[in-house]
Amino acid sequence: MNVWSQTMTDGNKAVAMSRKRLAFVASDSEKATNALERLTKRYQAVAPEQADVIVALGGDGFMLETLHQYIGLEVPIYGMNRGTIGFLLNRYDEEALDTRIEQAVTVTLHPLRMSVLTVSGQRHEALAINEVSLHRESRQAASIGIDIDGIERMEELVCDGVIVSTPAGSTAYNLSAHGPIIPIGASLLAMTPISAFRPRRWRGALLPASAEVSFRTLDTEKRPLSAAADFTEIKHVKQVTVRQDTSVSLNLLFDLEHNLEERIIREQFLP
Residues carrying an active site annotation:
60
The answer on whether 226 is annotated among ligand-binding residues is no
The answer on whether 175 is annotated among ligand-binding residues is yes
The answer on whether 171 is annotated among ligand-binding residues is yes
The answer on whether 176 is annotated among ligand-binding residues is yes
Question: CA-CA distance, 44 to 7, in Å (whole number)?
Answer: 5
For 244, the enclosing helix (H) or strand (E) is: strand 237-244
Question: CA-CA distance, 105 to 21, in Å (whole number)?
Answer: 18
The answer on whether 168 is annotated among ligand-binding residues is yes
Q: Where does the chain have alpha helices with state H?
A: 30-42, 60-69, 97-103, 173-176, 260-267
- Residues 6 or more apart in contact with residue 4 via CB below 8 angstroms: 23, 24, 25, 45, 46, 47, 48
* Cβ 266 vs Cβ 158: under 8 Å: no
Question: CA-CA distance, 93 to 97, in Å (whole number)?
Answer: 7
The answer on whether 207 is annotated among ligand-binding residues is no
Question: CA-CA distance, 69 to 129, in Å (whole number)?
Answer: 12
Task: Identify the bridge partners of residue 207 per DSSP, sorted by sequence position.
Answer: 189
The answer on whether 160 is annotated among ligand-binding residues is yes
* Cβ 25 vs Cβ 3: under 8 Å: yes
The answer on whether 174 is annotated among ligand-binding residues is yes
Tell me the binding residues for NAD(+).
60-61, 130-131, 160, 168, 171-176
Tell me the binding residues.
60-61, 130-131, 160, 168, 171-176
